[in-house]
Structure 1
Amino acid sequence: MAWNEPGKDKKREPWQDGEPPDFDAALKQIKDRLAQFFGGGGGSGLTIAIAVIVALLLVVALADSFKQINESTRGVVLRFGKVNRIMTAGLNLKWPRPIEEVLVVDTARVQSYSAQRVRILTSDENLLDIDFNVQFRAENPQQWLFGARGPETNLEQASESAVRQVVGSNTMDKILSEERTAMASAAKEELQRLLERYHTGIVVTGLNFQNLRPPEKVQAAFDDAIAAREDNQRFKNQADAYASKVVPEAGGAAARVRTAAEGAKQSAIAKATGDANRFELLLAQYQKSPVVTRKRLFLETMQEVLANNPKVMVDVSGAGNHMMVLPLEQLLRNAGAAVTPTPNTGRTTLEAPAVSASPAAAGRSPNQDPLRAPREPRQ
């Protein structure tokens, strides 16, 4: 039997009197209670209260309809929880909450992420512990807020992957050499490519290798290798400095030698040209008067040869005795007699020039004065 079928058990019916409740009476009772709460009299007090509430709601909604966005930020507008648009800098209009909500993202602030002791296997099967730092900022606010797994998690995983790929493809010597900056730049490009693939909205502004070191067990050998590399670089710098100093000096000396050689060349050419011209003129005179020219050339040659000769040539082949008076002062001055001190007394010794006589005078006795010739007897 159904619950509303007539029967003896009247308690099973929802209404004891068999009629539905009076909703108008219940509504009137609620109004009366609200009027008593706001202190009004009857329906007029309730109307005023409702008007005040509505006015307050309108003021709040109007105030929530404007959003100020700074120059360094962007606003992501969510309409009922779904991305609707991106707000730029300035005063923007929107629907009040809960219809639309704005999430502000700072796109100009540069943030930093650091990784410590990331162990990487190099291409020559050596282990390196690397510390690196990544500087980044949010470029796409929507991807930054709603990217997969969150921006920090994506950045951490992508940065380690990029560093492992770049460093692991090089040898330890190459990593520890001067190409460290180039590898950091390559790791930055690889990291940016991975972040764009994951749609994280992140732009990498810098990536630096802060510390590269081997494990502690091989640290001593590693330090020796670094010291040797630094010594090598220092010696190269010293050699470059020496070359920078010596090469210009050698260039100047070479230029001076070339200039002197060029001057000697021009002088020799001029002298040879003058001699050739003189001989051509002399040839013309010789062709006109051979005998006179030969004699003049002979005399000029003998004068030039015997002018500074300290020896005196005397012709005694003729008959008779002759008295020869030699100009010793003039001979000594022409010969430039050497003055040498004796070792013991300090006296000076004058070296007189040699005097050559004819064979007839040479046959005299050594006791006879060679400067005095025999006189002829008086008659």
Structure 2
Amino acid sequence: MNWDWDKLQKQQQGRRGGGSSTPPGFEDFNQQFEKFKRIRFPGWKLVLLAVVILWLISGVYIVEPGEVGVVKRFGEYQTMTSPGPHYHIPYPVESAVTLNVERVRRMEFGFRSINRSRSVPFQQGQTRKVTDESLMLTGDENIVSVQFIVQYQIKNARNYLFNVFDQEGTIKNAAQAAMREVIGKSNIDRALTTGKQEIQVATRQLMQEILDLYSTGIRVENVQMQNVHPPDAVVDAFKDVASAREDKSRFINEAEAYRNDILPKARGQAARIINAAEAYREAKVRRSEGDASRFLSVLREYRKAKDVTRTRLYLETMEEVLAQPDADKVILSNEALKQSLPYLPLERVKPGGGKTTNKTQ
């Protein structure tokens, strides 16, 4: 309803012209207010009913697959609900929070991945170092830069929401404490080379023990070391040491390969020489034994019949001599030998002073 201000202004002006000192328009204001009170609003009940209905509907909530719902009554834990539609007493009496318990969450330490934006073009693997988190002291009093990630899941939504005030801060502190303790018990060579797998397993176990001690409701799925290297100030010196170690390993491998190549050959050659010597010895021994046996048998026969044996030996010797193919032989009887002149084959003498052999009987 609108007030009739024009009428009121005219009445006030008339009263001022009459010289009255009474405050202008008081009775008119009273009359207008009485008229306003007599006005009725027939839809206010509908408005109130709509507000109540909306307030009741606000208690409906849906838990998505892979999530759990946690109902709080005046901020205190009341119950936990599974995926599907549910209802709770509307705020401020009760409230509901949904948590995804199947999603594997990730937290980075010693570095931060650079997110893609319009001003910065996307590059695979582009990160930013966080030196305060990465520098750690090893067991042999060296400093190493360790960049790693932690993957975890929520295994108990009630403990996750009500037992810990700062969940991410607690996970961060537990991960750094566990990694620093494990690195502090390892030497730098083990952290840089062959001990990474053992360090990851030990860190995950120690981190899980810390989180279970505080009943955080968190399960650590994996701890993975991304990049482990010496500090930037001494990285060149470590590279030189690593190169020297690689050269040492290479020289050792080459020497072992040369040894593995030479030793079998030497062993084989030695075995061959030994076998040849043994064969030669065996042949000589057998031949000597045979010659001795033959000589003894001939000696026995000779003792039995000296003339016959002497003649047989002569004939066998002559047969052996005359059977040689490289000798020219002239056979003469004793009478012919007395009547013949000696013959010297000068055409067969070699120019170098050597000469062919010629046996003349």
TM-score, L = length of structure 1 = 0.56
Aligned counterpart in structure 1 of residue 224 of structure 2, from 199, 207, 227:
207
Aligned counterpart in structure 2 of residue 74 of structure 1, from 43, 51, 68:
68
Give the structure, 1 or 2, with the largest relative contact order (CA under 8 Å, sep 6 or more). Answer: 2
Identity of aligned residues (%): 18
Residue 179 of structure 2 aligns to a residue whose secondary structure is helix
Flag the 1:142–1:56 CA change in 2: closer, same or farther, 3 A. Answer: closer
User: Which residue of structure 1 aligns with residue 88 of structure 2?
Assistant: 95
- 1:351 and 2:346 aligned: no
User: Which residue of structure 1 aligns with residue 340 of structure 2?
Assistant: 322
Give the conservation status (yes or no) of the 8 Å contact 2:191–2:228: no
Structure 2 gap ranges (5+)? 1-37, 111-129
Aligned counterpart in structure 2 of residue 146 of structure 1, from 162, 167, 170:
162
TM-score, L = length of structure 2 = 0.58
- Deviation per CA, 1:50-92: give whole Å up to 9, x if none: 777776666x26xx54623223x3333334433344444x425
Which of 1 and 2 has greater Rg? 1
- Measure, in 2, the Cα distance between the counterparts of 1:273 and 1:356: 33
Give the conservation status (yes or no) of the 8 Å contact 1:38–1:49: yes
Give the conservation status (yes or no) of the 8 Å contact 2:192–2:228: no
Deviation at 1:308, TM superposition (A): 7.5
User: Which residue of structure 2 aligns with residue 229 of structure 1?
Assistant: 242
User: Which residue of structure 2 aligns with residue 113 of structure 1?
Assistant: 108
Give the conservation status (yes or no) of the 8 Å contact 2:207–2:220: no
Q: What is the one-letter code of the residue matched to 2:147? A: F
- Measure, in 2, the Cα distance between the counterparts of 1:228 and 1:283: 80
Flag the 1:214–1:258 CA change in 2: closer, same or farther, 3 A. Answer: same
Deviation at 1:257, TM superposition (A): 6.7
Flag the 1:194–1:54 CA change in 2: closer, same or farther, 3 A. Answer: closer
- Measure, in 2, the Cα distance between the counterparts of 1:301 and 1:149: 121
- Measure, in 2, the Cα distance between the counterparts of 1:231 and 1:284: 78
User: Which residue of structure 2 aligns with residue 36 of structure 1?
Assistant: 41
Give the conservation status (yes or no) of the 8 Å contact 2:329–2:359: yes
Q: What is the one-letter code of the residue matched to 1:322? A: S
- Measure, in 2, the Cα distance between the counterparts of 1:164 and 1:311: 103
Flag the 1:142–1:310 CA change in 2: closer, same or farther, 3 A. Answer: farther
Flag the 1:356–1:131 CA change in 2: closer, same or farther, 3 A. Answer: closer
Flag the 1:279–1:86 CA change in 2: closer, same or farther, 3 A. Answer: farther
Which residues in structure 2 correspond to 1:1-379 (within 5 Å)? 36-38=41-43, 60=57, 64-65=59-60, 67-71=62-66, 73-88=67-82, 90-91=83-84, 93-98=86-91, 99=94, 101-115=96-110, 116-118=130-132, 119-126=135-142, 128=143, 130-140=145-155, 141-172=157-188, 174-176=190-192, 178-200=194-216, 201-208=218-225, 210-214=227-231, 216=233, 219=234, 223-240=236-253, 243-244=256-257, 247=260, 251=264, 254=267, 258=271, 287=300, 291=306, 296=312, 300=316, 307=324, 320-325=338-343, 349=352, 351-353=354-356
Flag the 1:276–1:168 CA change in 2: closer, same or farther, 3 A. Answer: same
Residue 41 of structure 2 aligns to a residue whose secondary structure is helix
- Measure, in 1, the Cα distance between the counterparts of 2:314 and 2:210: 104
- Measure, in 2, the Cα distance between the counterparts of 1:301 and 1:357: 16
Q: RMSD value over aligned CA atoms? A: 5.0
Give the conservation status (yes or no) of the 8 Å contact 1:129–1:215: no
Deviation at 1:227, TM superposition (A): 1.0
Deviation at 1:96, TM superposition (A): 4.8
Matched residues, number:
294
* Deviates most, 308-317 or 260-269: 308-317
- Measure, in 1, the Cα distance between the counterparts of 2:65 and 2:222: 22
Residue 352 of structure 1 aligns to a residue whose secondary structure is coil
Give the conservation status (yes or no) of the 8 Å contact 1:314–1:357: yes
- Measure, in 2, the Cα distance between the counterparts of 1:112 and 1:145: 19
